[in-house]
Amino acid sequence: MSDRLVIKRVYLPPDKDDGQRVLVDRLWPRGLSKREAAIDVWLKDVAPSAALRKWFGHDPQRWEEFRRRYLAELADNADAVDQLRELAKTGRMTLLYGAHDEEHNQARVLLELLRGNKHGAQD
């Protein structure tokens, strides 16, 4: 499954190789129209809680603790994770996120989770 799952900033242009485009942010990307985003599915419920997102603030020094807390949230949100897993079974899928930081964002944590490694797998 790993070669069929990728992550990408939602602000980058859609590509035919993206497969199913799944937005994993709780908030719609600022300044982006629905047409420009070309999103197939928006899974708000799999995104970090507003409180966790605000606490993290995309501070790389908080990354490991963010990952731990986010994985705990996901463990308590089995329905949303199951929905994401089902979508991943249908073929190539791109998890879309709005953050500027390509290394420290929730899509990376979700990618690790879907690939079966909760402890720091990299692409």
pLDDT at res. 122? 40
- C-alpha distances (whole Å) from 53 to each of 2, 41, 49, 59, 106 are 26, 21, 6, 10, 9
β-bridge partners, 8: 96
Report the predicted TM-score, pTM, of the whole model to 2 decimal places.
Answer: 0.90
**pLDDT values of the chain reduced to their tens digit, one per residue, 123 residues:** 457 999 999 999 999 999 999 999 999 999 999 999 999 999 999 999 999 999 999 999 999 999 999 999 999 999 999 999 999 998 999 999 999 999 999 999 999 999 986 544 443
Please answer whether residues 42 and 27 qualify as being in contact, where contact means their C-beta atoms are separated by less than 8 angstroms.
Answer: no
